[in-house]
């Protein structure tokens, strides 16, 4: 998959896997990595699907209605890519934390839902429930940060809570941070993710 790799100065830190929103590219979330963990290696990936010229990580049938078959195919494709990138760049495959926004958060959620041990943790900015009816793998101890908007027109608060309950039901430790700026990724939300990241993952 098209991507940017930046080697960090502290190889003990998790590799941050950056996953952009619809219409974004692998350049978009690089500034977030600088705020969350400037010394960490970064693997920033571009989604392989195009919707009217806009990159995405999987197809959708309509706004908020996902093409499940493609979601599963693309989630495996991303998981396989992370395996290959770990080999190519000498990264610990078991020490990767996703940082995703919107469509990127949704495929990160799908990795958690469908591929056991694919992520050590995840920062999900404005995620939805990626798929209903899935049996989740054991996520005991997996830390997940969710940044959500109380007035997000794409993901209602009830869906955020549903995602929280599904992840917690599989054993994940979920922290939800609420904002009031719709579907926007705000600076204060990124800072909250950085504050959350520090004790959970960096100092372990």
Q: Annotated active-site positions, please?
A: 102, 152, 183
Q: Is 103 in the site for ligand MLT (CB under 6 A)?
A: yes
Q: Among 5-13, 71-79, 100-108, 144-152, which window interacts with ligand MLT (CB under 6 A)? A: 100-108
- Least Å distance, CB 84 to ligand MLT, is 24
3-state per-residue secondary structure call for 32-98: HHHHHCCCCCEEEECCCEEECCEEECCCEEECCEECHHHHHHHHHHHHHHHHHHHHHHCCCCCCEEE
Identify which of residues 39 and 50 has a Cβ nearer to ligand MLT in the complex. 50
- Least Å distance, CB 27 to ligand MLT, is 17
- Least Å distance, CB 58 to ligand MLT, is 7
Total of chain residues touching ligand MLT, rule CB under 6 A: 10
The answer to whether residues 138 and 150 touch, using CB atoms and an 8 Å cutoff, is no
Pairing of strands 42-45, 3-6: antiparallel
Report the residue closest to ligand MLT, judged by CB: 103
- Least Å distance, CB 92 to ligand MLT, is 28
Q: Is 160 in the site for ligand MLT (CB under 6 A)?
A: no
- Least Å distance, CB 95 to ligand MLT, is 26
Tokens 């990724």 -> residue:
185
Name which position in 41, 44, 106, 164 contacts ligand MLT (CB under 6 A): 106
Q: Residue 31 corresponds to which tokens in the numbers above?
A: 């500034």
Q: Is 153 in the site for ligand MLT (CB under 6 A)?
A: no
Among 32, 143, 164, which residue's Cα sits nearest to residue 97? 143
Name which position in 31, 38, 64, 199 contacts ligand MLT (CB under 6 A): 64
Sign of CA dihedral 168, 172, 178, 184: negative
Among 141, 173, 201, which residue's Cα sits nearest to residue 13? 201
Q: Is 60 in the site for ligand MLT (CB under 6 A)?
A: yes
Q: Which helix (H) or strand (E) holds 176?
A: strand 173-179
Binding site for ligand MLT (CB under 6 A): 21-22, 60, 63-64, 102-103, 106, 128, 154
């Amino acid at each position: 998959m098209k991507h940017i790799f930046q080697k960090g100065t502290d190889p003990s830190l998790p590799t941050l896997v950056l996953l952009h929103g619809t219409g974004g590219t692998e350049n978009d979330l690089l500034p977030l990595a600088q705020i969350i963990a400037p010394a960490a290696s970064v693997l920033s990936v571009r989604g392989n699907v195009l919707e009217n010229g806009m990159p995405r990580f999987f197809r959708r049938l309509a706004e908020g209605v996902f093409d499940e078959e493609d979601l599963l195919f693309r989630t495996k494709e991303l998981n396989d890519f992370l395996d290959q990138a770990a080999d190519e760049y000498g990264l610990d495959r078991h020490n990767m934390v996703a940082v995703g926004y919107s469509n990127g958060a949704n495929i990160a959620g799908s990795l958690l839902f469908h591929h056991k041990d694919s992520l050590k943790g995840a920062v999900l900015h404005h995620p939805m429930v990626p798929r209903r009816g899935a049996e989740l793998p054991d996520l005991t101890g997996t830390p997940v940060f969710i940044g959500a908007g109380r007035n997000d027109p794409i993901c209602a608060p009830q869906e955020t809570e549903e995602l929280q309950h599904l992840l917690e039901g599989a054993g994940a430790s979920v922290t939800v941070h609420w904002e009031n700026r719709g579907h926007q990724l705000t600076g204060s939300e990124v800072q909250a993710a950085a504050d959350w990241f520090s004790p959970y993952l960096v100092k372990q």
